[in-house]
């Protein structure tokens, strides 16, 4: 089987170890073989990115547009093939995987346009005869550390703005999903991007990841992953005064009010909580339901999840794929035990599912009669497990929704305009959804949260410029 290498300074190079990438839908299938690097390879990649930085910072908008547009076009043209690869290595269903690849392509197209839209300001000074200009400059070498749950879209939404705004990049993708990162690196490598502007080093978080975060020539780190890792990265970056941006977990509430349209509420809950196997930081894991609709809602969600087909991510009838690996499946099952022991009542699901192929399957689970201080309501599970919290009214529902360490996404299902407006104004989350699932966001607008969910400026859309540039104020005597 072909060995996929690291991309450093425009060349494919060997690392120090080899990792087989296993299909979570069928543990007998090796999706690919990937070489992994450590501190030495990170050093080489950062050096290459540093050498390439001045010329890329001086590149014009047309060159950046052409490169990003090429990358976006190839990703879109190969959406089906790359989607299949993604589904095989990560376990989301084929339509979800193809959708994610499409999104990655659109992101490159969007930032191709952003490269053309870079602008500054020219402002008269308070001092007569003086002019002031405010412009944005690239940071230099940016390090990116990405998770496995969106193995092509998250690298895309970091790489594309970094390049559009004139930075050079070292990407350290997640250990579990090197295939999508490699495919993306291969496309970037074949574009007209000068060697060294983009580099990719697979490897362990504690080795390659840590080396990247600590490297003194890396001006900024953009990270998506767990709160625990994010906290360590923040401390390391502060220590050497590097810029950083963190996207971490969520424990996202979906409020369902008595006046909600039941079908809409059920569709939002089932999509938000269980699709992509619950492996989304925007998943709706806490369903906060007012008393008048509670029983009807619970019965309808329960019926719906009983009909969901759990199975091989690439099978045409599958609606819920496997957990990404055995460790994640064990974690999900452990939370089932924790929930039961805490006194939550299981309506259905939460069991290992045996399919024709040996994979990490479990049935979607719904707990009711839960309290917000239970661990299953405080901690991010990252599996197809949702809880229901009963609330008397909007006010209590809002209090429960906001009573969480996280603040990524929050949703409400209601037909009341005033309730929707109240919710949008008072939900303490970075993204708020009305009559829509908490997961599922656009690529041209900001993404990010509050509290333990995010740190630093927003990702995506034009707001990405905040992180990937630094502002310069120039004064000149006319």
By C-beta, is 53 or 145 nearer to ligand ADP? 145
By C-beta, is 210 or 329 nearer to ligand ADP? 210
Binder of ligand ADP out of 24, 105, 209, 449 (CB under 6 A): 209
| Dihedral of the alpha carbons of 332, 335, 336, 338, in degrees to the nearest 10 | 170
278 binds ligand ADP (CB under 6 A): no
Q: Annotated catalytic residue: which of 281, 380, 413, 459?
A: 281
Q: How far apart are CA 100 and CA 315, in angstroms?
A: 17
Match 């543990």 to its residue by tokens: 27
CB of 37 to ligand ADP, least distance (A): 12
CB of 352 to ligand ADP, least distance (A): 21
Binder of ligand ADP out of 25, 93, 146, 202 (CB under 6 A): 146
Binder of ligand ADP out of 145, 154, 169, 394 (CB under 6 A): 145
By C-beta, is 213 or 336 nearer to ligand ADP? 213
Q: Under a CB-based contact definition with an 8 Å cutoff, are residues 241 and 58 in contact?
A: no
Binding mask 230-269 for ligand ADP (x = CB under 6 A): --xx------------------------------------
Helices 417-426 and 394-402 cross at an angle (nearest 10°) of 20
Q: What's 442's DSSP letter?
A: -
- Count the site residues for ligand ADP by CB under 6 A: 16
366 binds ligand ADP (CB under 6 A): no
450 binds ligand ADP (CB under 6 A): no
Q: Which residues fall within 8 angstroms of residue 36, CB to CB, at 6 or more apart?
A: 15, 16, 17, 18, 19, 175, 202, 203, 204, 208
Torsion sign across C-alpha atoms 82, 85, 87, 91: negative
CB of 180 to ligand ADP, least distance (A): 13
User: What DSSP string runs through 59-118?
Assistant: --HHHHHHHHHHHHHHHHHTHHHHHHHHHHHH---HHHHHHHHHHHHHHHHHHHHHHHT-
Q: Under a CB-based contact definition with an 8 Å cutoff, are residues 192 and 219 in contact?
A: no
3-state DSSP percent of the chain in helix, strand and coil, to 5: 40, 25, 35
Q: What's 256's DSSP letter?
A: E
226 binds ligand ADP (CB under 6 A): yes
300 binds ligand ADP (CB under 6 A): no
Match 């699932």 to its residue by tokens: 437
174 binds ligand ADP (CB under 6 A): yes
Q: Active-site residue 281, yes or no?
A: yes
Q: Active-site residue 247, yes or no?
A: yes
Binder of ligand ADP out of 36, 74, 96, 175 (CB under 6 A): 175
Q: How far is CA 377 from CA 128, 231, 244, 281, 301, in A?
A: 60, 21, 29, 14, 18
213 binds ligand ADP (CB under 6 A): yes
205 binds ligand ADP (CB under 6 A): yes
Q: Annotated catalytic residue: which of 247, 380, 413, 459?
A: 247
Match 């309290």 to its residue by tokens: 371
CB of 42 to ligand ADP, least distance (A): 10
Per CB under 6 A, the segment of 103-111, 168-176, 342-350, 397-405 that binds ligand ADP is: 168-176
325 binds ligand ADP (CB under 6 A): no
Per CB under 6 A, the segment of 161-169, 228-236, 261-269, 440-448 that binds ligand ADP is: 228-236
Q: Which residues bind ligand ADP (CB under 6 A)?
A: 145-147, 172, 174-175, 205-206, 209-210, 213, 225-226, 229, 232-233
Which residues are marked as active site? 247, 281
């Amino acid at each position: 089987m072909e060995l996929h290498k690291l991309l450093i300074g425009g060349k494919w190079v060997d690392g120090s170890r080899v990792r087989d990438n296993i299909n979570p839908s069928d543990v007998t299938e090796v999706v690919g073989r990937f070489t992994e690097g450590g501190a030495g390879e990170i050093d080489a990649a950062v050096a290459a990115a540093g050498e390439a930085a001045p010329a890329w910072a001086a590149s014009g908008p047309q060159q950046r547009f052409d490169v990003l547009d090429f990358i976006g076009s190839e990703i879109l043209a190969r959406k089906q093939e790359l989607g299949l690869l993604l589904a095989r290595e990560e376990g989301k269903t084929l339509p979800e995987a193809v959708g994610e690849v499409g999104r990655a392509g659109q992101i490159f197209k969007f930032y191709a346009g952003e490269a053309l839209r870079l602008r500054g300001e020219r402002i008269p000074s308070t001092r007569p005869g003086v002019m002031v200009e405010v412009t944005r400059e690239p940071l230099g070498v940016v390090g990116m550390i990405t998770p496995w749950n969106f193995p092509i879209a998250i690298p895309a939404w970091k790489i594309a703005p970094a390049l559009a705004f004139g930075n050079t990049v070292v990407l350290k993708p997640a250990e579990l999903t090197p295939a999508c990162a490699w495919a993306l690196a291969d496309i970037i490598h074949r574009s007209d991007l000068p060697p060294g502007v983009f580099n990719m080093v697979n490897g362990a978080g504690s080795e390659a990841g840590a080396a990247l975060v600590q490297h003194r020539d890396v001006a900024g780190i953009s990270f998506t992953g767990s709160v625990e890792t994010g906290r360590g990265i923040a401390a390391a970056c502060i220590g050497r005064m590097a810029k950083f941006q963190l996207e971490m977990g969520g424990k996202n509430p979906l409020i369902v009010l008595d006046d909600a349209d039941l079908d809409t509420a059920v569709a939002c809950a089932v999509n938000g909580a269980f699709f992509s196997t619950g492996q989304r930081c925007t998943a709706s894991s806490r369903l906060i339901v007012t008393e008048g609709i509670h029983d009807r809602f619970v019965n309808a969600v329960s019926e719906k999840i009983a009909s969901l087909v759990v199975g091989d991510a690439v099978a045409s009838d599958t609606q819920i794929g496997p957990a990404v690996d055995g460790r994640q499946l064990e974690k999900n099952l452990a939370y089932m035990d924790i929930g039961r022991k805490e006194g939550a009542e299981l309506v259905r699901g939460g069991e290992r599912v045996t399919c024709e192929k040996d994979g990490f399957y479990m049935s979607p689970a719904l707990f009711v009669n839960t309290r917000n201080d239970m661990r299953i309501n405080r901690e991010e599970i990252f599996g197809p497990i949702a809880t229901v919290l009963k609330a008397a009214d909007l006010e209590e529902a809002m209090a429960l929704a906001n009573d969480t360490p996280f603040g990524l996404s929050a949703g409400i299902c209601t037909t009341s305009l005033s309730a929707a407006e109240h919710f949008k104004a008072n939900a303490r989350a970075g993204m708020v959804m009305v009559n829509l699932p908490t997961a599922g966001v656009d690529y041209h607008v900001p993404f990010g949260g509050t509290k333990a969910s995010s740190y630093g400026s927003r990702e995506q859309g034009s707001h990405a410029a905040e992180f990937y540039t630094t502002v310069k104020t120039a004064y000149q005597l006319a």
